[in-house]
Amino acid sequence: MSRVIQIFIIPMILLIILGCASKPKIVYVKTSVVKPIYVPDTLLKDDIELPVPPERHVFIKTTPLRRETLLVNHILDLYKVIGKYKLKLKAVRDYNKAIKKKIDSHE
**Which residue, 43, 35, 45, 41, is CA-closest to 102?**
35
pLDDT tens digits for 16-52?
777 666 677 788 888 877 777 778 887 778 888 899 9
The pTM score is 0.58
For residues 103 and 105, what is the distance between their CA atoms, to the nearest angstrom?
Answer: 5
